[in-house]
Amino acid sequence: MKPHLIVLDLDGTLLTDEKKIMPQTAQTLLKAKEQGHHVMLATGRAYRATETYYRELNLTTPVINFNGAFVHHPDNRSWKTIHETLSLPVVLEVMEAMQQFPWNNIIAEVLDDVYVHYHDEKVLDNFKMGQPKVTTGEIQRFLQDDPTSLLIQADESNVESITAHLSSIHAEVVGHRVWNSPWGHVVEVFRKGLSKAAGLAHVAKWMDIPKDRIIAFGDENNDFEMIEYAGFGVAMGNGIDELKSMADEVTLSNNEDGIAKVLSERLNL
């Protein structure tokens, strides 16, 4: 069998609800690698919060972080890194516009530097993995570089008005998606055109693997493009309904070795 590229989202997909990799899933991925297949991670997380799992699986592939804004190879310095940032002037315009909407907090990340507008222990707890440099205070004052990511935390009742503004005023330069985090509803703002699929296309070309030999797993709305791009897109049983409806297969949940089941069957492991 020709080599396949197996692409794994982390939270809600490869990781259980306890943020662990199931032993059977790990063993299946190892078997796939032994048979010549490639395994890579594609996540909304920063690399500092991804590396533990990358090392646990002994991966040797590039990584897609920040939902495609940062695509890199941790162990190959000659690999051409992609870092697609938001323009700082645009971010400041968005920050200024946000003054007319109710929101709870705004977080900006420049790779491993985290800027949090308001001090909030619950928010900060979700950004501590990998020991980033954290700056708390007015983002307009402290942020000096084009950020990799901008997150706007707001009550659910205010999310629609915020996204409507982004769509009408800044649609040509930024994209956005909404997701739920342990610390509330979040509007993620990113450079227009970015997605896990865009990063995956770059990696697949470098590895010379066609779409029909890409198997991708996901569970949330930031996986839409990747699941659609892959030759075989799989939604986890715990995934959102919209993703399940567009996937080629729906497998068991992230707590039930859904990844292992699909790979064992499709790759004859």
| Residues taking part in catalysis | 9
In angstroms, what CA-CA distances link 227 with 4, 59, 104, 180, 191?
15, 21, 32, 20, 20
